[in-house]
Amino acid sequence: MGKIRELHNQLINKEISAVELAKEYLARLEYTNPKLGTYLSLSGEKGLDDALVIDKKIASGEDIGLLAGIPMGIKDNISTKGIITTCGSKILENYKPVFNATVVDKLYEAGGIILGKCNMDEFAMGSSSENSAYKLVRNPWDFSRVPGGSSGGSAATVAAEEVVFSLGSDTGGSIRQPAGFCGVAGMKPTYGRVSRYGLIAYASSLDQIGPIAKSVEDCAIVHDIISGYDKMDSTSANMPSTKSLDNIGKDIRGLRIGVPKEYFGGDEKVLNTLKKALAKFEELGAIVEETTLPHTEYALPAYYIIASAEASSNLARFDGVRYGARDWDQKDVTDMMSATRDKYFGKEVKKRIMIGTYALSAGYYDAYYLKALKVRTLLKRDFDEAFKKFDVLITPIAPTLPFKIGENIKDSITMYLGDICTVTINLVGIPGIAIPCGFVDGLPVGMQILGKPFSEELLFNVAHKFEQSNDFHLRKPEVK
Amino acid sequence: MSITIKDVKHVAILSRLGLNDDELQKYEKELNDVLNFMEKLNELDTQGVEPTSHVLDIHNVFRSDVVEKSLDLEDVLANAPDRDDDCFKVPSIL
């Protein structure tokens, strides 16, 4: 168990082999996964084969990269060739992708070892991982609480040290919020920075893949590998991959931090923890000032219109024809599609398809979808304005501590309100990193640091500087 | 705006979701709740504001018009619930 650089040194110094390392993590995973519900499928056998290849390279004196031989988990909406990818849904129960997502190819090329596919809310729709069609995920810090969502499996598995790092996806907070609830680091990159090829789409103008790890440095190492232009993704930004590691360790004296007041409306214990973190930044030499993002209160309804509309269109592909489940009792093709979708989609997924279809249907398009896109412009202007004055913005990730399993699942609006701090960032496309900034009642509290488009390298440095000033990232939940 | 059971049925047909009566009733309430929540946007005057459909400054992306290797036919059909030779097989259309 350890950080990427430590494990890499142990590997190249032959203190441990890649196979031994993979076995060590697999043994832990097989013990804790049934308690935490972090994985939907395990791929340990292939992982051990891959580890053997790394060991042969080390034995023959070949140079290996930092990620070679490092065990990882991949969110189950990211395509892995030959490894079942369900998206947390019964409609893809037996679906084996015939190609790898670009990020998976890049991680394989770097020598990473996939141990399994991480549990998630069905089609990434949810904030608690309770919408998984298979099983729920428990928060490693308190088994009666949710790990956040939708990348709950990806965050909990890192917190419980079942793997060294994982990939998640973030459409409205799905990397940052579970990272915050589980006390680990997670980066939602700028829209277009990391290829989405092979990510099973939820809302295409919002989705981004990003890394989750125990430390900021480990997140940066993974981000440097997975980012960069990909011709297979037509929304990929034509830029080289990040070189965040070179930027980590720089001084942050004089850094201008904006604190948008609209984000500070939650649980007092959470807010006080944030305030202490901001005071720490001042000690580190940053300039902290209050600012405003005046349209914040309109972000959630705009988000749920846009995300649901895009989802209703993206999920039309699941029709029982080319892949996935089919209802066999129907005589007519339209009935077959309708019955298949009704039977194999979960409740929240159906609801968002219905909302999105309604919002896009004749007569309502202007009132809902177009209106939401215009509000999106106003939100973007808020951030453009703020970034004229500030280098980064800091906010809570969620207005509450990790909530109890079952507490919010019956009431959609309450559940949606929990996403108040995260969804705007996807609407405006900027990067945001989540890191732990304290503990309350034994539960982690996270903060997010936001930057201008393509400022990931700066965000990693700022987050790292804060992380090194405390021991929050070193604390470990007891998973018995 | 409020949604009636008739609207819910129409949307379910457009969505290709074969909902039963119980589900239709449940969705009537839930959709109204969510749409009420979305009404908040009407507080804002957005006249003259350009919509943002996505945030990147890139538009149509084309590759050159040459044939490239695509997925193998067997791979394409590997996940099909039903097939007939090299085709996806579905129940009758007419």
With a cut of 70, say whether residue A155 has pLDDT above it. Answer: yes
Q: What is the mean pLDDT of chain A?
A: 96
Cβ of A334 within 8 Å of Cβ of B16? The answer is yes
| % of chain A at pLDDT higher than 70 | 100
- Would you say residue A105 has pLDDT above 90? yes
Nearest CA in chain B to A428: B55
Dihedral over alpha carbons A319, A325, A330, A333 (to 10 degrees)? 20
Chain B residue numbers touching A351 (CB-CB < 8 A): 27, 30-31, 34
CA distance A247 to A317: 42
Nearest CA distance, B50 vs chain A (angstrom): 6
What would the two tokens of residue A453 be? Answer: 């488009």
At A370-424, the pLDDT tens digits run 999 999 999 999 999 999 999 999 999 999 999 999 998 887 777 888 899 999 9
**Lowest-pLDDT choice from A339-343, A373-377, B64-68:** B64-68
Say what the pLDDT of residue A465 is.
Answer: 98
Contact criterion met (CB below 8 Å) for B46 and A371: yes
Contacts of residue A70, Cβ cutoff 8 Å, sequence gap at least 6: A4, A7, A8, A21, A111, A112, A113, A164, A165
Residues of chain A contacting B79 with CB distance shorter than 8 Å: 94-96, 98, 322-324
Q: What is the pLDDT of residue A414?
A: 79
pLDDT band of A478, cuts 50, 70, 90: very high
pLDDT category of residue B59 using cuts at 50, 70 and 90:
confident
Find which of A200, A342, A344 to mutate to test the B interface (most B CBs within 10 Å of its CB).
A342
Between A24-33, A187-196, A201-210, A402-411, the lowest mean confidence (pLDDT) is in: A402-411
Active site residue A174: yes
Residue A368's closest chain B neighbor by CA? B38
Kindly determine whether residue A323 and residue B44, on different chains, have CB atoms separated by under 8 Å. no
Q: A178 forms bridges with which residues in the sheet?
A: none
Q: Are A298 and B41 in contact (CB under 8 A)?
A: yes
Q: What percent of chain A stands above pLDDT 90?
A: 95
**Token output for A58:** 């080390």
CB of A86 closer than 8 Å to CB of A76: yes
Is residue B54 pLDDT above 90, yes or no? no
- Tokens, residue A272: 């006080």
Q: How far is A214 from chain B (nearest CA, A)?
A: 30
Is A75 labeled as catalytic in the residue annotation? yes
d(CA A189, CA A458): 12
Instruction: Give residue A412's pLDDT.
Output: 76
- Report the pLDDT averaged over residues A263-273: 94
Please, what is the average pLDDT of chain B? 91
Q: Point out the residue among A321, A353, A375 whose CB comes nearest to the CB of B17.
A: A353
CB contact under 8 A, B34 and A412: yes
Average pLDDT of the segment spanning B68-94: 93
Which B-chain residues 33-92 have CB contacts (< 8 A) with chain A?
33-35, 37-44, 46, 49-56, 58, 61, 63, 71-72, 75-76, 78-82, 88, 90-92
Determine how many CB atoms are found less than 10 A away from the CB of residue A78: 27
Q: Which residues in A122-133 are b (16+ Cβ under 10 Å) and which e?
A: bbbbbbbbbbbb
ipTM: 0.94
Task: List, for residues B8-20, the tens digit of each pLDDT value.
Answer: 999 999 999 999 9
Q: Assess A260–B contact: CB distance below 8 Å, yes or no.
A: no
